[in-house]
Amino acid sequence: MKKQQLNVILTAVVTTIIVIVGFVLLMPIIGPRYLHPMMMGDQPAPSNLDTSATRTSYAGLFNVSWSADSGEPPLNQIHSWTLHVETADGQPVEGATILVDGGMPQHGHGLPTSPQVTEDLGNGDYRVEGMKFQMLGFWEVRFNISADGQSDSITFNLILE
Protein backbone atom coordinates (compact mmCIF):
# COMPACT_ATOMS: atom_id res chain seq x y z
CA MET A 1 0.00 0.00 0.00
CA LYS A 2 2.70 2.44 1.04
CA LYS A 3 4.80 1.56 -1.96
CA GLN A 4 1.86 2.25 -4.26
CA GLN A 5 1.31 5.68 -2.68
CA LEU A 6 4.97 6.49 -3.14
CA ASN A 7 4.73 5.47 -6.80
CA VAL A 8 1.79 7.81 -7.38
CA ILE A 9 3.57 10.76 -5.77
CA LEU A 10 6.77 10.05 -7.68
CA THR A 11 4.89 9.85 -10.97
CA ALA A 12 3.12 13.12 -10.28
CA VAL A 13 6.39 14.88 -9.41
CA VAL A 14 8.27 13.56 -12.45
CA THR A 15 5.35 14.38 -14.77
CA THR A 16 5.18 17.94 -13.42
CA ILE A 17 8.91 18.42 -13.89
CA ILE A 18 8.80 17.12 -17.45
CA VAL A 19 5.83 19.32 -18.35
CA ILE A 20 7.49 22.42 -16.84
CA VAL A 21 10.81 21.77 -18.61
CA GLY A 22 9.01 21.19 -21.90
CA PHE A 23 7.00 24.37 -21.45
CA VAL A 24 10.11 26.41 -20.66
CA LEU A 25 11.85 25.04 -23.76
CA LEU A 26 8.92 25.83 -26.03
CA MET A 27 7.99 29.22 -24.52
CA PRO A 28 10.45 31.37 -26.49
CA ILE A 29 9.09 29.90 -29.72
CA ILE A 30 5.38 29.85 -28.95
CA GLY A 31 5.22 33.00 -26.82
CA PRO A 32 6.09 35.73 -29.26
CA ARG A 33 3.85 34.33 -31.96
CA TYR A 34 0.72 33.12 -30.25
CA LEU A 35 0.50 33.84 -26.55
CA HIS A 36 1.40 37.34 -25.52
CA PRO A 37 0.91 40.39 -27.78
CA MET A 38 3.64 42.16 -25.76
CA MET A 39 6.10 39.51 -26.93
CA MET A 40 5.22 40.00 -30.58
CA GLY A 41 7.03 43.30 -30.96
CA ASP A 42 6.25 46.04 -33.42
CA GLN A 43 3.34 45.37 -35.74
CA PRO A 44 4.22 45.22 -39.44
CA ALA A 45 2.73 47.70 -41.89
CA PRO A 46 -0.68 46.67 -43.26
CA SER A 47 -0.07 44.22 -46.11
CA ASN A 48 -2.52 45.81 -48.54
CA LEU A 49 -1.09 49.33 -48.09
CA ASP A 50 -1.30 51.57 -51.14
CA THR A 51 2.08 53.26 -51.26
CA SER A 52 1.71 54.82 -54.68
CA ALA A 53 3.03 58.37 -55.05
CA THR A 54 0.07 59.46 -57.19
CA ARG A 55 -3.42 59.36 -55.69
CA THR A 56 -6.82 60.98 -55.98
CA SER A 57 -7.94 63.14 -53.05
CA TYR A 58 -10.73 61.88 -50.77
CA ALA A 59 -13.60 63.76 -52.43
CA GLY A 60 -12.12 63.22 -55.88
CA LEU A 61 -11.31 66.89 -56.55
CA PHE A 62 -7.59 66.55 -57.20
CA ASN A 63 -5.05 64.13 -58.56
CA VAL A 64 -1.92 64.61 -56.50
CA SER A 65 1.58 63.20 -56.74
CA TRP A 66 4.73 63.70 -54.71
CA SER A 67 8.42 63.18 -55.27
CA ALA A 68 11.32 63.65 -52.87
CA ASP A 69 13.99 65.92 -54.37
CA SER A 70 16.68 63.47 -53.30
CA GLY A 71 15.00 60.45 -54.93
CA GLU A 72 13.98 58.10 -52.10
CA PRO A 73 13.04 59.89 -48.86
CA PRO A 74 16.17 59.60 -46.68
CA LEU A 75 16.21 58.56 -43.01
CA ASN A 76 16.94 61.32 -40.44
CA GLN A 77 17.68 63.99 -43.05
CA ILE A 78 15.65 67.10 -43.62
CA HIS A 79 14.75 67.37 -47.30
CA SER A 80 12.27 68.84 -49.77
CA TRP A 81 9.44 67.40 -51.79
CA THR A 82 7.75 68.59 -54.96
CA LEU A 83 3.98 68.16 -54.88
CA HIS A 84 2.05 68.18 -58.15
CA VAL A 85 -1.66 69.00 -58.05
CA GLU A 86 -4.10 68.56 -60.93
CA THR A 87 -7.87 68.73 -61.20
CA ALA A 88 -9.73 65.47 -61.79
CA ASP A 89 -9.64 66.19 -65.55
CA GLY A 90 -5.88 66.76 -65.58
CA GLN A 91 -5.59 70.57 -65.44
CA PRO A 92 -2.71 71.82 -63.24
CA VAL A 93 -3.95 73.62 -60.10
CA GLU A 94 -2.14 76.88 -59.41
CA GLY A 95 -2.37 79.24 -56.44
CA ALA A 96 -3.53 76.56 -54.03
CA THR A 97 -3.16 76.83 -50.27
CA ILE A 98 -1.66 73.60 -48.98
CA LEU A 99 -1.17 72.40 -45.41
CA VAL A 100 1.15 69.49 -44.55
CA ASP A 101 0.73 66.99 -41.73
CA GLY A 102 1.61 63.39 -41.06
CA GLY A 103 2.99 60.78 -38.72
CA MET A 104 3.32 57.12 -37.89
CA PRO A 105 -0.21 55.79 -37.33
CA GLN A 106 1.04 52.62 -35.61
CA HIS A 107 3.16 54.57 -33.13
CA GLY A 108 0.67 57.38 -32.57
CA HIS A 109 3.10 60.20 -33.23
CA GLY A 110 3.37 62.96 -35.82
CA LEU A 111 6.18 64.18 -38.03
CA PRO A 112 9.31 65.30 -36.18
CA THR A 113 9.37 68.61 -38.09
CA SER A 114 6.75 71.14 -39.23
CA PRO A 115 7.05 71.09 -43.02
CA GLN A 116 5.46 73.82 -45.12
CA VAL A 117 4.68 74.55 -48.73
CA THR A 118 7.08 77.43 -49.35
CA GLU A 119 6.76 78.08 -53.06
CA ASP A 120 4.23 77.82 -55.86
CA LEU A 121 6.50 76.65 -58.69
CA GLY A 122 3.79 77.03 -61.34
CA ASN A 123 2.24 74.40 -63.59
CA GLY A 124 0.64 72.74 -60.55
CA ASP A 125 3.97 72.16 -58.78
CA TYR A 126 4.64 73.18 -55.18
CA ARG A 127 7.81 73.06 -53.12
CA VAL A 128 7.39 71.38 -49.71
CA GLU A 129 10.28 72.15 -47.35
CA GLY A 130 11.14 70.65 -43.97
CA MET A 131 10.18 67.02 -44.60
CA LYS A 132 11.88 64.58 -42.23
CA PHE A 133 11.40 60.96 -41.11
CA GLN A 134 13.37 59.87 -38.08
CA MET A 135 12.20 56.24 -37.84
CA LEU A 136 12.02 53.29 -40.20
CA GLY A 137 8.59 51.92 -41.00
CA PHE A 138 5.12 53.00 -42.09
CA TRP A 139 4.49 56.76 -42.40
CA GLU A 140 1.48 58.78 -43.52
CA VAL A 141 1.83 62.23 -45.08
CA ARG A 142 -1.37 64.27 -45.42
CA PHE A 143 -1.97 67.35 -47.53
CA ASN A 144 -4.98 69.61 -47.22
CA ILE A 145 -5.43 71.44 -50.51
CA SER A 146 -7.63 74.49 -51.03
CA ALA A 147 -8.00 76.03 -54.49
CA ASP A 148 -10.71 78.06 -56.20
CA GLY A 149 -12.95 77.98 -53.13
CA GLN A 150 -12.83 74.18 -52.88
CA SER A 151 -10.93 72.09 -50.42
CA ASP A 152 -9.98 68.43 -50.26
CA SER A 153 -7.36 66.31 -48.57
CA ILE A 154 -5.15 63.40 -49.48
CA THR A 155 -3.07 60.92 -47.51
CA PHE A 156 0.02 59.24 -48.92
CA ASN A 157 1.46 56.10 -47.36
CA LEU A 158 5.13 55.39 -47.49
CA ILE A 159 7.43 52.81 -45.98
CA LEU A 160 10.94 53.76 -45.00
CA GLU A 161 13.26 50.77 -45.18
Residues that bind other proteins (CB under 8 A): 7, 11, 14-15, 18-19, 21-23, 25-26, 28-29, 32, 36, 38-42, 75-76, 78, 80, 107, 109-116, 129-130, 132, 134-136, 161
Closest by CA to 137, choosing from 40, 37, 45, is: 45
* The dihedral sign for the CA sequence 53, 74, 137, 154: negative
* Closer residue to other proteins (CB): 18 or 88: 18
Question: CA 77, CA 119: separation in Å to the nearest integer?
Answer: 20
* Closer residue to other proteins (CB): 21 or 88: 21
Nearest distance in Å: CB 7, other proteins: 7
Nearest distance in Å: CB 152, other proteins: 24
* Closer residue to other proteins (CB): 15 or 150: 15
CA distances from 77 to 8, 50, 87, 105, 112 (A): 68, 24, 32, 20, 11
CB 155 within 8 A of CB 140: yes
H or E segment at 10? helix 2-30
Nearest distance in Å: CB 69, other proteins: 12
* Closer residue to other proteins (CB): 86 or 129: 129
Which residues pair with residue 102 across a beta bridge? 141
Nearest distance in Å: CB 15, other proteins: 6
* Closer residue to other proteins (CB): 61 or 158: 158
CB 98 within 8 A of CB 143: yes
Nearest distance in Å: CB 115, other proteins: 6
* The dihedral sign for the CA sequence 88, 92, 94, 99: positive
